[in-house]
């Protein structure tokens, strides 16, 4: 086993690095960053404005690139990290048109790094929090960061009038990041990719017509998943937890956006029903939507943006990660996975640079991560446009789909960071170009970082 292999496969923490990392925002990216930093020997102080980790959301995918990070924590398969209720186990993903005609029946294999595992968002957050809690990390919930500050010798935040100091700040405070402007001095224009209506509830709580129960009868002890695609509208219906949870999502482009910075807020199912009012397949879909229990439907605007020019502050002691750095449309299922990659790489670069070279660590992280995340940002927009405009048919699915992008899902960001760090660091210290090796060779001109 080579030195790189030994380091990347290790699951125990090295000795203390002497580095104190402040993390703002304890969603998926922030919790992953807290755990990864601890594993690399750094002390962690985390702040989250919400009182706990509870966050509504239906399902998300953990593809091979994200799973490779999580599976190293305790050397166990990703599925063993979740309870039965947290996982969607299906044998086939069905894609239908608005008339209900089957366009594609895609065999589903959770061991395939491209397809990955489909889990409940709340289950992932619970797992991350349990891991962080077991490590004794200093995570403070119900705390709002009032200010950010940076000096040559450190950086930090102001909380309840108290100035809290660290060696660096990792801001993972989401798509509406308050840290973004301070850190990058850039104004970001969020682009609306549509509006989404979502719900997840226990099957036993379905408040609805007999038709809904009949449609769900197929999910006894197993899960199913069907996506219906019309022009600029998509509805997905399925189950999770071996049929225990009902999940549905309606995404519509060109509709009225949600005027709120909250990730989700309560909504009614009425707009979603209106979007499919003239679909021949409406009778297959409407009973499930109508059966949604009260207070169980939420909506939000899908937001993305052009890639930022940089993620690191001018003095090099503050960095953006996750949606704060690269808000992603859900088309590729990479929002959580790219945030997890960010978390692992920044923790490794801090480890390799040490306490006396924090700015080099964060700028090397930017070199390693910015081109890849930026390209995925753009690709998610392109595929969303093609897929929705085509109604999910033919070329847009087969030619532009995720199966054509193995460089995303087969990536091992931990191994890559250890192998590529010397080149990225040299690029920073000498001001020379860095050629990324974690994106297709024809896309090297997407690197906009310094």
* Residue numbers annotated as active site: 198, 228
- In order, the DSSP letters of 359-379 are HHHHHHHHHHHHHHHHHHHHH
Going by C-alpha positions, the residue among 108, 4, 93 that lies closest to residue 415 is 4
Separation of alpha carbons 196 and 60, rounded Å:
14
CB 351 within 8 A of CB 42: yes
3 state SS of 443? helix
- Angle, alpha carbons 402-407-410 (nearest 5°): 95
If one counts every other C-beta atom within 10 angstroms of the C-beta of residue 413, the result is 26
126: exposed, middle or buried (Cβ count in 10 Å: 0-12, 13-18, 19+): middle
3 state SS of 420? helix
CB 121 within 8 A of CB 87: no
Q: How far apart are the first and last CA of the chain?
A: 34
Half-sphere exposure (CA, 13 Å, Cβ side) for 354?
2
């Amino acid at each position: 086993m080579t030195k790189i292999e030994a380091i990347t496969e290790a699951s125990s923490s090295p000795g203390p690095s002497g580095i104190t990392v402040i993390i703002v925002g304890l969603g998926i990216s922030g919790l992953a960053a807290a755990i990864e930093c601890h594993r690399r020997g750094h002390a962690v102080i985390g702040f989250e404005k919400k009182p706990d980790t509870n966050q509504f959301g239906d399902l998300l995918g953990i593809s091979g690139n994200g799973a490779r990070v999580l599976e190293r924590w305790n050397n166990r398969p990703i599925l063993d990290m979740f309870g039965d209720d947290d996982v969607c186990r299906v044998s086939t993903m069905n894609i239908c048109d608005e008339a209900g005609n089957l366009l594609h029946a895609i065999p589903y294999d959770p061991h395939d790094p491209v397809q990955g595992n489909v889990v409940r968002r709340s289950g992932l957050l619970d797992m991350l929090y349990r891991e962080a809690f077991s490590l004794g990390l200093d995570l403070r919930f119900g705390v709002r960061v009032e200010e950010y500050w940076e000096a040559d010798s450190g950086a930090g935040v102001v909380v309840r009038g108290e100035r809290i100091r660290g060696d660096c700040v990792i801001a993972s405070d989401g798509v509406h990041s308050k840290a973004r402007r301070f850190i990058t001095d850039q104004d970001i224009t969020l682009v609306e990719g549509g509006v989404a209506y979502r719900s997840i509830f226990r099957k036993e709580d379905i408040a609805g017509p007999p038709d809904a129960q009949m449609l769900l009868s197929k999910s006894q002890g197993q899960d199913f998943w069907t996506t219906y695609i019309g022009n600029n509208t998509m509805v997905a219906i399925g189950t999770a937890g071996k049929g225990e949870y009902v999940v549905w999502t309606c995404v519509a482009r060109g509709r009225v956006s949600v005027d709120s910075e909250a990730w989700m807020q309560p909504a009614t199912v009425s707009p979603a029903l209106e979007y499919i009012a003239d679909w021949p397949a409406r009778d297959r879909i409407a009973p499930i939507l109508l059966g949604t229990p009260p207070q169980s439907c939420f909506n939000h605007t899908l937001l993305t943006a052009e890639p930022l020019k940089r993620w690191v502050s001018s003095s090099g002691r503050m960095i953006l990660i996750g949606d704060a750095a690269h808000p992603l449309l859900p088309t590729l299922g990479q929002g959580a996975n790219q945030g997890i990659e960010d978390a692992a790489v920044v923790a490794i670069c801090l480890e390799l640079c040490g306490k006396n070279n924090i700015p080099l660590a964060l700028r090397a992280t930017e070199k390693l991560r910015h081109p890849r995340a930026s390209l995925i940002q753009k690709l998610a927009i392109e595929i969303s446009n093609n897929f929705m405009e085509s109604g999910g048919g033919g070329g847009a699915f087969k030619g532009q789909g995720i199966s054509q992008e193995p460089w995303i899902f087969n990536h091992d960001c931990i191994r890559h960071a250890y192998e590529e760090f010397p080149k990225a660091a040299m690029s920073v210290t000498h001001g020379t170009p860095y050629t990324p090796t974690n994106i297709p060779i024809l896309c090297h001109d997407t690197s906009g970082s310094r």
